[in-house]
């Protein structure tokens, strides 16, 4: 299950309806999720969840599912 | 919403700034569209006339240059340069930046260009050596900051964002996010991006006149500690002792806002005699009667009192920021006067001053202080005295005569151009066409033979009002003697005194116009002058969309009201050659 705050953040940063977001959502399914969008998303998530991702994991967090796992592992 | 075409150029990756900057600009009433230069492409984009920068036709160009990029070599090896060489490096970098900026302003006349001061990390190999040895980085960066600031002061189209101070306020360790540098070549953390976005938005709001005009203040537990009605004159906390100093220093900062031309008003629920006794006599008060443009001290609800203040001061409700320690009052005002800005307010008085300074940057940013700003508070005080007079005179004509009004009219020059541009930016009510001009545009227009830019200054028995009117006339192509009124505006504080009749009559005589063409373009705010041209004797010619066009032949016959003493200001050289 995706955390609702993760879904909200994805929908806000990429300006899409929350109902379209699934665990499989990734840069290929969301055109706005480009390299700049990725940085925006990471910074926004760090703020929302009050966490900090490590530099080597940031490039690997390229799906909603992977983001969820990285967030869950911090709590 | 004001459309803004923004170009963003930077020495590092900067696309990520678009999101917070867009939000900050929209919050201040702008609708921005962005073009952003690629990583480290800013020089090529400026130099190449076919680049996306110029294709975007921006009216705002933000150039973010980071010291860590500009001084990369020195930071990499701070032992390679001694003081003289560093000074030279800093000067060379600053003149390269200046040359780029001049290229931009030549190719984009009228655009506002924003440069920034910059800071380097204080954590570097010179710890301990900086300022103690012959090596240094901070002095070179300081030299660069001073040089670009000096350059900007010579260019009306260039303004400086003091990013070095933003970095200090945020704290350098939070200003950088090294992950973002190595992953994305971005020199800025999320905190830095937010601070820069807000800083740029404030500068543009100041530049384009989207700033508030008045702070309305509660009294009990806001200007002083305690409740005057309960704790009494001797019981309130205000002055040098203990927490009283927090209130006194908060007032000191309000006094600085007053000096910058922001109006202060009181909006409080008290017995008026109790409150006035404190304001007039309490030794701890820093603000006195003369600092307040208007007071509403009664038991009415605060939204109604804010409306009454707006009417008295002749400014919109949307020009107010309301400060009150009581969350119930804040929420009432938010709900019943939604145009008023009602900031959250700290519960601890020690935080008041800092909260106020943040509000200053957010809602009252300024890029310069005009003579009018310095005396605005006094001017509004005199206004109150004029209203007293109006109620004691029996006819309106007697009132005008009793005011002993003297107008001085002149043509735009170096001294008056900043104020003229400011008036075109800020004036909403008495403004027939609401055309906004920058200083650079006004300056350029003074070189045009077929354009006349007049200013008007008003004095009366209660004191000077300063430059309060602008008329821009353009001679029609190939029609000698036909002048089009491009801009006709008066500050709202001199409305209702027939100054407009005097101004237009004098300008018509100065230009020897055989015909005046006036137009009225309606906006949300300028309904008061809808029928101005009709009132002045113009005849309606035709409409262009919602724009009404009016004509007046032989404007030399415009009547000069007999209660004005009029002086036409001519440059000394011209006056000498007349003799």
pLDDT tens digits, one per residue of A27-43: 999 989 999 999 999 99
Domain with residue B158: its CATH number is 3.40.50.1110
Position B557 confidence tier, pLDDT thresholds 50, 70, 90: confident
Find the mean pLDDT for residues B171-179.
Answer: 94
Find the mean pLDDT for residues A11-37.
Answer: 93
Contact status, residue B442 vs residue B414, Cβ threshold 8 Å: no
B576, pLDDT greater than 50: no
The predicted structure's pLDDT at residue B223? 97
Mark which residues 18-47 of B lie under 8 Å from A by CB: 18-19
Give Rg (Cα) of chain A.
Answer: 11
Average pLDDT over chain B, rounded to whole?
Answer: 91
The predicted structure's pLDDT at residue B367? 85
- Domains in chain B: how many in total? 3
CB spacing of B190 vs A43 below 8 angstroms: yes
Contact status, residue B411 vs residue B402, Cβ threshold 8 Å: no
> Closest to A55 (Cβ–Cβ): which among B16, B179, B190?
B179
Residues B17 and B109 in one domain: yes
From B172-186, B398-412, B498-512, B562-576, the region with the lowest mean pLDDT? B562-576
Angular region, B242: left φ>0, alpha ψ -120 to 50, beta rest: left
Residue with tokens 């735009």: B412
Residues of A in contact with B179 (CB under 8 A): 53-55, 58
Q: pTM of the prediction?
A: 0.70
Domain with residue B414: its CATH number is 3.40.630.30
Q: Sign (positive/negative) of CA torsion B18, B21, B27, B33? A: negative
The predicted structure's pLDDT at residue B574? 45
The predicted structure's pLDDT at residue B160? 97
Last residue of a domain, one of B169, B188, B207: B207
Residues of A in contact with B18 (CB under 8 A): 36
Residues B428 and B531 in one domain: yes
Determine the Cα–Cα distance for residues B579 and B575; give it in Å rounded to an integer.
7
pLDDT 10s digits, B441-487? 999 999 998 999 999 999 888 777 789 999 999 998 877 789 999 99
The predicted structure's pLDDT at residue B349? 97
Position B391 confidence tier, pLDDT thresholds 50, 70, 90: low
Residues B291 and B323 in one domain: yes
A58 touches chain B (CB under 8 A): yes
Per-residue DSSP letter, B317 = G
Strand ranges (DSSP E) for B249-356? 263-268, 292-297, 320-323
Determine the Cα–Cα distance for residues B58 and B337; give it in Å rounded to an integer.
36
Residue B450's domain comprises 389-578
Q: Shortest Cα distance from A43 to chain B (angstroms)? A: 7
Give a yes or no: residue B384 inside a domain. no
Position B389 confidence tier, pLDDT thresholds 50, 70, 90: low
Residues of B in contact with A46 (CB under 8 A): 190
The predicted structure's pLDDT at residue B464? 78
The yes/no answer to whether this complex scores an ipTM above 0.85 is yes
Q: Which of B232, B237, B241, B242 is nearest to B222 (CA)?
A: B237
Q: Which of B13, B19, B34, B182 to mutate to test the interface with A (most CBs of A within 10 A)?
A: B19
3-class DSSP assignment, residue B395: coil
CB spacing of B19 vs A40 below 8 angstroms: yes
**HEC profile of B47-90:** HCCCCHHHHCCCCEEEEECCHHHHCHHHHHCCCCCCHHHHHHHH
Question: Parallel, antiparallel, or unpaired: how do β-strands B320-323 and B214-217 relate?
Answer: parallel
Query: Which structure tokens are listed for A52?
Result: 């900090």
Share of chain B above pLDDT 90, in %: 72
pLDDT 10s digits, B233-270? 999 999 988 999 999 999 999 999 999 989 999 999 99
CB spacing of B183 vs A58 below 8 angstroms: yes
pLDDT 10s digits, B72-86? 999 999 999 999 999
Average pLDDT over chain A, rounded to whole?
Answer: 94
The predicted structure's pLDDT at residue B461? 80
Number of H helices, E strands in chain B: 24, 17
Per-residue DSSP letter, B1 = -
Give a yes or no: residue B380 inside a domain. no
Residues B118 and B156 in one domain: yes
3-class DSSP assignment, residue B209: coil
What number of residues does chain A have?
A: 75
A24, pLDDT greater than 70: yes
The predicted structure's pLDDT at residue B571? 67
The predicted structure's pLDDT at residue B387? 67
The contacts of residue A49 (CB under 8 Å, 6+ apart) are A5, A71, A74
Helices (H), B158-189: 163-170, 172-175, 178-184
Find the mean pLDDT for residues B480-502.
Answer: 89
B577, pLDDT greater than 70: no
How many CA within 13 A on the CB side of residue B69? 20
Residues B287 and B432 in one domain: no
């Amino acid at each position: 299950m995706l955390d609702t705050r993760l879904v909200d953040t994805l929908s806000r940063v990429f300006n899409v309806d929350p109902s379209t977001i699934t665990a499989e959502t990734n840069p290929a399914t969301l055109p706005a999720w480009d390299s700049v969008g990725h940085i925006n998303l990471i910074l926004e998530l760090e703020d929302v969840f009050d966490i900090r991702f490590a530099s080597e994991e940031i490039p690997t967090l390229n799906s909603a599912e992977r983001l969820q796992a990285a967030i869950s592992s911090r709590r | 919403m004001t459309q803004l075409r923004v170009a963003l150029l930077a020495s590092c990756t900067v696309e990520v700034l678009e999101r917070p900057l867009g939000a900050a600009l929209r919050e201040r009433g702008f609708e921005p569209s962005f073009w952003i230069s690629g990583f480290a492409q800013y020089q090529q984009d400026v130099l190449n006339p076919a680049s996306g920068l110029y294709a975007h036709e921006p009216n705002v160009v933000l150039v973010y240059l980071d010291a860590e990029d500009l001084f990369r070599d020195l930071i990499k090896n701070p032992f390679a340069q001694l003081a003289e060489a560093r000074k030279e490096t800093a000067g060379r970098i600053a003149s390269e930046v200046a040359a780029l900026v001049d290229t931009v302003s030549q190719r984009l006349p009228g655009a506002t260009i924003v440069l920034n001061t910059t800071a380097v990390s204080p954590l570097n190999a010179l710890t301990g050596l900086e300022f103690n040895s012959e090596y240094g980085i901070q002095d070179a960066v300081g030299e660069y900051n001073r040089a670009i600031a000096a350059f900007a002061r010579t260019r009306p189209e260039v303004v400086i964002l003091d990013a070095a101070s933003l970095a200090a306020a945020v704290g350098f360790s939070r200003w950088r996010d090294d992950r973002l540098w190595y992953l994305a070549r971005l020199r800025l953390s999320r905190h830095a991006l937010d601070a820069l976005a807000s800083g740029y938005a404030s500068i543009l709001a100041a530049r384009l006149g989207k700033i508030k005009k008045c702070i309305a203040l509660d009294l009990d537990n806001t200007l002083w500690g305690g409740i005057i009605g309960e704790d009494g004159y001797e019981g309130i906390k205000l002055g040098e002792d203990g927490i009283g100093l927090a209130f006194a220093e908060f007032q000191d900062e309000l006094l600085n806002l007053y000096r910058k031309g922001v109006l202060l008003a009181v909006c409080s629920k008290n017995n008026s005699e109790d409150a006035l006794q404190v304001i007039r006599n309490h030794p701890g008060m820093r603000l006195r009667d003369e600092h307040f443009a208007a007071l509403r001290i009664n038991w009415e609800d605060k939204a109604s009192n804010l409306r009454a203040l707006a009417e008295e001061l002749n400014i919109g409700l949307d020009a107010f920021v309301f400060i009150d320690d009581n969350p119930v009052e804040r929420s009432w005002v938010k709900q019943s006067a939604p145009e008023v800005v009602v900031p959250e307010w700290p519960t601890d008085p020690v935080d008041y001053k800092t909260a106020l300074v943040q509000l200053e940057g957010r809602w009252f940013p300024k890029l310069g202080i005009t003579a009018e700003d310095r005396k605005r508070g006094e001017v509004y005080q005199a206004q109150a005295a004029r209203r007293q007079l109006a109620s004691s005179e029996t006819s309106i004509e007697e009132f005008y005569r009793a005011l002993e009004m003297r107008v001085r009219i002149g043509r735009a020059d170096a001294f008056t151009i900043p104020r003229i541009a400011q008036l075109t930016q800020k004036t909403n009510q008495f403004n027939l066409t609401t055309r906004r001009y920058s200083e650079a545009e006004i300056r350029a227009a003074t070189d045009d033979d077929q354009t006349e830019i007049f200013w008007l200054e008003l004095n009366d028995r209660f004191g000077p009002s300063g430059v309060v009117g602008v008329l821009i006339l353009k001679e029609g192509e190939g029609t000698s003697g036909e002048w089009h009124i491009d801009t006709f505006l008066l500050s709202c504080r001199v409305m209702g005194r027939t100054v407009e009749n005097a101004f237009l009559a004098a300008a018509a005589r100065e230009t020897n116009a055989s015909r005046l063409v006036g137009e009225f373009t309606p906006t949300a705010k300028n309904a008061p002058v809808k029928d101005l041209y009709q009132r002045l004797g113009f005849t309606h010619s035709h409409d262009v969309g919602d724009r009404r066009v009016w004509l007046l032949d032989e404007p030399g016959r415009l009547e000069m009201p007999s209660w004005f003493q009029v002086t036409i200001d001519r440059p000394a050289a011209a006056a000498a050659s007349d003799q």
